[in-house]
Structure 1
Amino acid sequence: MSPHRRSAPPRPPAPVPATPEYVTLAVGAPAHGGHCIARPVDDPSGRIVFVRHALPGEQVRAVMTEKNAKIWRADAVEILSASPDRVRPVWAEAGPGGVGGGELSHVALPAQRTWKRWVLADCLRRIGGAPVVEAVSALPGAEGGAVPVEPMPGEAAAEADPDPRVRARAGTGTRTRISLAVTESGEAGMHGFRSGTVLPVHELPLAVGAIQDLGLTERALWRKHFRPGMRVDAVAPSAGEPLVLLEDGGRSSRALTVLTATGRATGRRRVAEVVDAAGLGLGELHYSVHATGFWQAHREAPTVLVDRVVRGALAEEPTASGTRPGDGPLDAARMAGARVLELYSGAGLFTLPLVALTGAVRSLEGSGRAVADARRTLHEYAGAELTAGRVTPAAVAQLGRFGTGGPSGGDGADVVVLDPPRQGAGRGIIQAVAALNPRRVVMVACDPAALARDLGAFLGSGYRLAAMSALDMFPHTHHFETIAVLQRD
């Protein structure tokens, strides 16, 4: 995931009716973005309302939150007929009228993954069209036009635990990075959904234990540092103590203060991350990341993504499933000399294992800070050429030409790995990648709509979809990650 996704400015407040307007809705299928498609109970063919905090098949009483010529939105505030998949929300403060970021916490985890699979299938059908649906449907395990959305290992284990208390907490305590804002009264808070208003929060159930133990929402230790409008980030790396980052001032000149877990100022600006790559035969991988830099937020995401993406890129047979029982490490001798182009490479999460296995990776990333992080991590690898700059068709064409001598016999990259920001790579970048004629492309996507568009462009450029997997890396939200492996035979 590219650093471009780390944060976005809050949206301006949505237009809300002057007086509360309530409507009784029959709730239908999920829609991309965490809503369900609903219509008034007394007018089944009436205007579509995108309702949050509901479930397919329910009848709800909802309050309108936005009405304009293009879209109507509402929050379900009373459940008149409940779905069997409804559970007690794990984060009530992200419920109706609350903060964004936990919009599916009222949905049982298996049903959340079904929800996301429906959304994936819908995007592939509506945006990708028939060629994409046919390509996905031909994959093993794909039903209904989409692959299953898989739980992360920790969530799968928690859901199978015999202790009901463990099962009830599944999907919580996973985030190693969280962002807060300070309210006008000096409390820790978060922005309301589609709003510039900061609402106070009193619990952080999705954060890992090391962040929850800081007590950012309740301890006076932190309140004395907070100023209205301040941004507060908590970082809990896989190695070392957590840090609290305070950013104050305007967007163009934010002053950064870094505090230890005990609230003391520190000059520490970097964190160490360790990724288990034993399945690839690489043991532990060590990264150095700036405290404000982008890193995958789910505690297991770096390990799972490295295993799946690198094996997908370099295994003899294309796969998006990662290391399976009985699989051996990747054959380094077979991969030696393979030329890899990596786009939107971030802080080098994939670059390190790719160059360790092949000896030759060229990467391109738009964030200078992320490239500086990657250079610190990869300084011992002469075959890693790290470039800071925008990913453009011209840049892809220039960096992707390695000269003759690679396994494919041409002068272009043998393998391309790309992990674009939420809006996807786009047709121009994909055409530039296809012009290099790599035998394999691995694409990571965090938005199903962008994935559908980009898959359509790759299929139209002579590639076939060889493998795909979807990962529920963001439980209790509508987000998920997809890995697609494309092959040119």
Structure 2
Amino acid sequence: MTTGPAVPEVGDVLTVTVGPVAHGGFCVARREEDGLVLFVRHTLPGEIVRATVTETGSRFVRADATEVLEASPARVVPPCPFSGPGRCGGCDWQHASLEEQRRLKAQVVQGQLRRLAGLVLDDVACEPVPGDVDGLRWRTRVEFAVTRDDAGERVPGLRLHRSHEVLPVTDCLIADERIARSGVLGAPVPDGVVGVDVVAPGRGEAVVVPLGMPRAPSRDRRRGHRGGPGQPGRDHRRGRREPAPVPLGPVPEVTERVGDHEFTLSARGFWQVHPGAATTFTDQVLAWLDPQPGERALDLYAGVGLFAVPLAERVGLTGSVRAVEADREAAAAAERHLTSYPWARAVAKPTEAALADLVAAGERADVVVLDPPRTGAGRAVVEAVAALSPRAVVYVACDPAALARDVGTAREHGLELVDLRVLDAFPMTHHMECLALLRPVR
């Protein structure tokens, strides 16, 4: 009796030729003898590598390229000493040139739109965002975990990929320089502190927020919106979930500026982490929507009002703006920021519920912008947006798969994708930001 190739176990080393990029910071490889699929980190398409298995599943395995036998011409030496197999999980592409990183990100977006929305786009490019330094020193918000170093000291660190295990670090090269010089990195952490949130706002030095464990498990939805190297979550190797740490004292406010507008928010409130992102996104949203005096604008997942404020300025006192945000603290901040525009208001309500009310009341919206969390808006929200009969919709997406699913739903309801920008707002990682313009089919 013959048996097929053995199912690999964690720690096994396989020699594979690497295929195309996949969403999530992996490339796809297949074992020749049985077609077993491997999702391999720290490699590039076309390379031949020895891959060490890190996780096993029924139809695929995850692995790290621990030895490169034939390298891609786009491979570079990672600038960060904490990057690489078995090291910090925050960066996926430090071993690739910036040009290659952006080429791969564009391919991921193309693949997701083709597979999930039925759209074939040939001219997708991933563009840089002003404000980083050759892909480094851009992250203005980093949450460090705490571990013990070789000397037994409690020190800050960053998590390994898909794990709660923490690697001590003395710098993070994608972090803003103010975070690096905040005094947090390399310094002993007091007992009772399980994490340290460091924020480099639009002006001033970094703000440090010590974190401790909550008395009861909790989830902080907004902190998980964009993810990050210090974020808690499920340990896929151990199958457990830890509660998110909470501030040990009052959280200070920070001020961010976009154009002529200032936004004041909690240091732990959601704001784009790349210093050039908020301005770049706002400029594009306004250019595509081109809001006119007297129009009705809707800002969904509005946060502290980044888009609602300039929309209110554009539609003027004969128009209206409704900013919808489920997080009450963020909605209250949006309401403050809209004080100068009495024709605009913020609603502290889940987006799906707020839209259901508008549709039931027979309301319409001329222009809509939505910036949902990583999971996307979902079918109910997209269908409700279409029911409001907008002339233009801009979807700001931090996950291309979620965007593609929602674009597919929008197409079913008469809204077609007419323009797309892919922006490298998270260099060195697999993340990117997509801005999509949808218009009704005429």
The TM-score normalised by the length of structure 2 is 0.86
5 Å-filtered alignment, 1:343-354, equals 343-354=300-311
Residue 190, structure 1, aligned to residue 158, structure 2: yes
Q: Secondary structure at 1:93's aligned position in 2?
A: coil
**Alignment match, 2:223:** none
Q: Select which of 257, 271, 274 maps to 1:298.
A: 274
- Amino acid corresponding to residue 349 of structure 1 in structure 2: L
| Distance 1:186-1:371 versus aligned 2 partners, 3 A rule | same
Give, in whole Å, the separation in 1 of the partners of 2:435 and 2:136: 23
Contact 2:304–2:334 under 8 Å retained in 1:
yes
Report if the CA contact (8 A) 2:195-2:245 is conserved.
no
Counterpart CA distance in 1 for 2:328 and 2:401 is 28
Contact 1:296–1:302, Cα closer than 8 Å, also in 2 = yes
Aligned to 2:369: 417
Question: Do structure 1's residue 205 and structure 2's residue 169 form an aligned pair?
Answer: no
**Partner residue of 2:252?**
269
Please report how far the alpha carbon of residue 402 of structure 1 lies from its aligned counterpart in structure 2 after TM superposition. Answer: 8.6
Determine whether 1:119 maps to 2:108.
yes
Residues 276-295 of structure 1: CA deviation (Å, up to 9, x unaligned): 2xxxxxxx211001111010
1:84-483 matched pairs, under 5 angstroms:
84-129=73-118, 132-133=119-120, 137=121, 142-143=122-123, 147-154=124-131, 170-184=134-148, 185-219=153-187, 223-225=188-190, 227=192, 230-250=194-214, 251-252=217-218, 256-257=247-248, 269-276=252-259, 284-314=260-290, 335-359=292-316, 360-392=320-352, 394-399=353-358, 411-483=363-435
Q: Deviations for 1:25-65, whole angstroms, at most 9, x for unmatched residues?
A: 1101000000000123xx26521110000000101111110
Q: 1:36 corresponds to which letter in structure 2?
A: C
Q: 1:69 aligns with which of 44, 50, 58?
A: 58
CA distance in 2, matches of 1:148, 1:44: 36
Query: Which residue in 1 is equivalent to 2:72?
Result: 83
Q: Which has the higher helix share?
A: 1
- Where 2:404 maps in the other structure, the secondary structure is helix
- 2:306 partner SS: coil
CA distance in 1 between partners of 2:176 and 2:101 (Å): 20
- Which region of structure 1 is more displaced relative to structure 2, 433-442 or 471-480? 433-442
CA 1:179–1:123: 2 relative to 1, 3 Å: same
Looking at structure 1, the residues matched to 34 and 141 of structure 2 have their Cα atoms a distance apart, in angstroms, of: 43
Cα offsets for 1:202-229 (capped at 9, x unmatched):
221001111111142213xxx253646x
Structure-2 separation of matches of 1:240 and 1:399:
41
Number of corresponding residues: 400
Consecutive unaligned residues in structure 2, runs of 5 or more: 1-7, 219-243
| Alignment check: 8 A CA contact 1:182 1:227 kept | no
Percentage of pairs with the same residue: 43
Question: Contact 1:401/1:436 (CA < 8 Å) preserved in 2?
Answer: no
SS at 1:64 equivalent: strand
Q: C-alpha displacement at 1:399, in angstroms?
A: 3.6
Partner Cα distance (2:330, 2:251) in 1: 17
Change (3 A) 1:68 1:361: same
Instruction: Tell me the amino acid that sits aligned with residue 314 of structure 2.
Output: L
Find the aligned partners of 2:332 and 2:81 in 1 and give their Cα distance: 40
Contact 1:149 1:472 in 2 (8 A): yes
How far residue 118 of structure 1 moved from its aligned partner, in angstroms, is 1.0
Q: Deviations over 1:320-339 (max 9, x none)?
A: xxxxxxxxxxxxxxx11110
Instruction: State the one-letter code of the partner of 1:383.
Output: W
Aligned partners of 2:40, 2:80: CA distance in 1, in Å? 18
Q: 1:148 to 1:402 in 2, by over 3 A?
A: farther
Aligned CA RMSD, in angstroms, stands at 2.1
Indicate how the Cα distance of structure 1 residues 340 and 400 shifts in structure 2: closer, same or farther if over 3 A, else same.
farther
The AA in structure 2 aligned to 1:288 is T
Q: Matches of 2:334 and 2:131 in 1, distance apart?
A: 28
Q: Is the 8 A contact 2:169 2:186 kept in 1?
A: no
Counterpart of 1:271, as a letter, is V
Match of 1:261 in 2: none
**Partner AA of 2:65 in structure 1:** A
Whole-Å separation in 1 of the counterparts to 2:376 and 2:175: 27
Match of 1:32 among 16, 19, 23: 23
